[in-house]
């Protein structure tokens, strides 16, 4: 198998489900689920996922470009690797999802909507992670990078979203994120149903959701704007030196979440509002019946504003900026 993406999009398994070359052994476990084991021992286990949302194609194309020289035997593999294309059916249709946002269903939350395709896929992905991390329990370094694109434009074209973590983030993980040329990191303070939170909470993996540009169809992405991420991923996979860090990403933490509960919900932001747009204290952000959402800090930045989410889901996050060294607010 030479093209993991095309094989997945075809909807059929490869004629050969496993194989080897001079550097690795590969195994197709199921649709969009591929593991690669290096010939030489490695201290690091890595999960790379993309396509959790079917309209977010740039990360899928980047991931496939990185896999091609590994599967062909042209490049060595330096880590124990699990590659996941999260929602193949949505990728084939070019839609964000079929019936439910799969990135709200991990950690067993799929049981709440167990009759939809995304629930069955979330369970399948959870089991794939469980099997992989169990096989890699002796690996000292365990990372999960989930590659996405944002629905709308952003003042930070490349940023990472960090799940709640009860332990300090490893220095080498934060250094890699900086070397990947990310503009910003957003730190959650509460649990969530995302794929990266599931890895972090249940398997103690250093994990991050990478948001790379804006969602576009296959073939319309300018991958040059993500060259820093691609180079950093290549260094990780092939065992090469990381790119130099030119600037430390700005740090934000989630201050409050805006949740839509009914059709009465009104978000006071237009479709032109970019991610990381700043609002001053006291600004009315959204309302629903008697509930009002206001900016509470001196300045808050919006992330992922979307009034069209299903009831009960997040319609936006409000952030405050922190200085990376101390965690103090940057005012």
Summarize the annotated binding site as residue ranges: 53, 56, 148
Asked whether 61 and 218 are in contact (CB, 8 A), the reply is: yes
3 state SS of 191: coil
Mark the binding-site residues for Zn(2+), compressed into ranges. 53, 56, 148
Residue 292, exposed/middle/buried by CB under 10 A (0-12, 13-18, 19+)? exposed
CA-based nearest residue to 146, from 93, 191, 106, 100:
106
Catalytic, out of 126, 201, 211, 300 = 211
In angstroms, how far is CA 298 from the centroid of its own chain?
29
**CA 200/CA 192 separation, integer angstroms:** 11
Name the strand (E) or helix (H) holding 173. helix 171-179
- Told to judge if 211 belongs to the known catalytic residues of this protein, a careful annotator would answer yes
**Helix/strand/coil for 23:** coil
Where does the chain show beta strands of DSSP type E? 18-20, 24-30, 33-38, 44-50, 80-85, 141-150, 158-162, 184-187, 206-214, 250-259, 266-267, 278-280, 284-288, 291-294, 299-303, 314-322
Per-residue tokens: 140: 């000292």
Contact 87, 118 (CB under 8 A): yes
Rounded Cα distance between 108 and 65, Å, is 32
> Read out DSSP for 51-89?
-SSTT--HHHHHHHHHHHHHHTTSS---SEEEEEES-HH
Catalytic residues: 211
């Amino acid at each position: 198998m030479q093209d993991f993406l095309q094989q997945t999009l075809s909807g059929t398994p490869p004629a050969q489900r496993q194989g080897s070359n001079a550097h690795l052994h590969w195994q197709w476990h199921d649709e969009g689920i591929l593991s690669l084991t290096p010939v030489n021992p490695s201290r690091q286990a890595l999960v790379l996922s993309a396509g959790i949302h079917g309209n977010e194609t740039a990360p899928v194309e980047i991931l496939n470009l990185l896999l091609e020289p590994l599967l062909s035997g042209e490049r060595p593999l330096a880590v124990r690797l699990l590659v996941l294309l999260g929602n193949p059916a949505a990728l084939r249709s070019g839609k964000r999802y079929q019936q439910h946002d799969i990135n709200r269903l991990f950690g067993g939350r799929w049981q709440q909507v167990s009759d939809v395709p995304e629930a069955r896929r979330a369970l399948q992905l959870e089991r794939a992670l469980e099997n992989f991390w169990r096989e890699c329990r002796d690996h000292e370094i365990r990372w999960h990078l989930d590659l996405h694109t944002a629905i709308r434009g952003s003042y930070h074209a490349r940023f990472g979203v960090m799940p709640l973590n009860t332990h300090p983030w490893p220095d080498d993980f934060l250094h890699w994120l900086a070397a990947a040329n990310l503009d910003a990191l957003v730190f959650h303070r509460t649990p969530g149903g995302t794929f990266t939170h599931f890895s972090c909470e249940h398997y103690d993996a250093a994990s991050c959701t990478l948001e790379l540009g804006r969602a576009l169809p296959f073939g319309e992405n300018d991958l040059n704007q993500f060259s820093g991420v691609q180079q950093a991923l290549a260094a990780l996979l092939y065992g090469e030196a990381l790119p130099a860090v030119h600037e430390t990403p700005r740090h934000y933490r989630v201050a409050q979440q805006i949740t839509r509960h009914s059709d009465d919900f009104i978000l006071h932001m237009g479709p032109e509002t970019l991610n990381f747009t700043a609002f001053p204290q006291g600004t009315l952000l959204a309302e629903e019946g008697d509930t009002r959402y206001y900016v509470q800090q001196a300045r808050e930045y919006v992330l992922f504003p979307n009034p069209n989410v299903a009831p009960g889901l997040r319609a936006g996050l409000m952030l405050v900026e922190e200085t990376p060294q101390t965690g103090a607010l940057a005012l």
